[in-house]
Amino acid sequence: MCNLSNTTNLEFVKTFQYVSHIPTFILGLIINLVALWILCFRLKKWTESTIYMTNLIFSDIFLLFSLPFKIHAYRVGGKWHLGPGFCAFVESLYFVNTYGTILLIMLISLDRYIAIKHPFLARTLRSPRKATLACTVVWVCVWSASIPNYIQIDSNLPNEACFTNFSEFWEKGIIPLCMETIFLISAVTVIFCSIQIIGTLQRVEEEREDMNMRTSMNVISSNLVIFLLCFTPYHVAMLLYLLVRQCYIANDYLAPLRIFLQISQCLATINCCLDAMYYYLFIKEFWKSKVKSTEETVSTHTS
């Protein structure tokens, strides 16, 4: 390893964290709880889409739960008094659910791609049980990845820094590269599925001039842009910062890249609020199908 100069967080970075995390926590919690209530108590229909959506909501809620403790950790610096075990827990909540969200968005894109692009194949590949199994695999994988964080706990250091001491994380470089790989695979999948879905819906819209198709295309396009805007800067910053720590880039860039990394982390958490675009699309679709089914039942009984 090369010699790295000590860097300090600038005050405007901490201010930026407050400005982004506090509204994200409040709005995100409200949006996700409302969406969860609608899915569980209003729609009451467990299909592939609602299963993926419910898991995405829980992933966002868990990540949001970590934000107040992340703010507290940066505020107190090296005076963390909540214990190393709890520190490992909230760190895991933050990082695990960031990638839980990324993988679940990828699964949602794949599910919609199969349903729209390959409707006959969907009868074999799609089912509520398979959706539940896919979500379970995601949860097991991402939470298993946090096990090393608990193994490294030192109970003799009750006041250790939290959300700041990641020197071993950067020195080995294996975990950051795995995170980059997960994002790259997910991003390529989401882009491919979104383009294919939009292309299919455009052809259907030309034939039917359906307003619902146009709305669906707009939401899918918006979700793709939001996904890339929220998570791409963070992973670009992570890769560049890793290259500096591994001495592939000059040490002079360490301080600005650290600031870039912290700001891009804040942008990534905003996705917890912007996931509302997904909720809007799915809830609107299911609500309309439920109303249509009710109207058909009433029409049958009256005739």
Tokens of 281: 């699309």
User: Does residue 32 fall inside a structural domain?
Assistant: yes
User: Does residue 152 fall inside a structural domain?
Assistant: yes
- Number of structural domains in the chain: 1
Identify the residue with better confidence: 167 or 100: 100
Q: What is the pLDDT of residues 251-274, one digit of tens each?
A: 888 888 889 998 999 999 999 988
Tokens of 39: 């899915």
Residue 51 has pLDDT above 70, yes or no: yes
User: Does residue 294 fall inside a structural domain?
Assistant: no
Q: What is the pLDDT of residue 65?
A: 93
- Stretch 37-44: mean pLDDT, rounded? 81
Q: Tokens 């009868």: give the residue.
A: 123
User: Does residue 297 fall inside a structural domain?
Assistant: no
User: Does residue 1 fall inside a structural domain?
Assistant: no
Q: Which residues contact 226 (CB under 8 A, 6 or more apart)?
A: 271, 274, 277
Residue 152 has pLDDT above 80, yes or no: no
User: Does residue 106 fall inside a structural domain?
Assistant: yes
User: Does residue 92 fall inside a structural domain?
Assistant: yes
Nearest to 221 by CA among 190, 200, 198: 198
Confidence band of 162 (pLDDT split at 50, 70, 90): confident
Residue numbers of the domain that contains 45: 11-282
Report the CATH number that the domain containing residue 83 is assigned in CATH. 1.20.1070.10
Cα distance between residue 282 and residue 300, in whole Å: 27
- Measured over the CA atoms of residue 54, residue 106, residue 114 and residue 196, the dihedral's sign is positive
Stretch among 111-115, 219-223, 291-295 having the lowest mean pLDDT: 291-295
Give the long-range contacts of residues 129-134, CB within 8 A, separation 24 or more: 130/48, 131/47, 131/48, 131/51, 131/52, 131/107, 132/51, 134/107
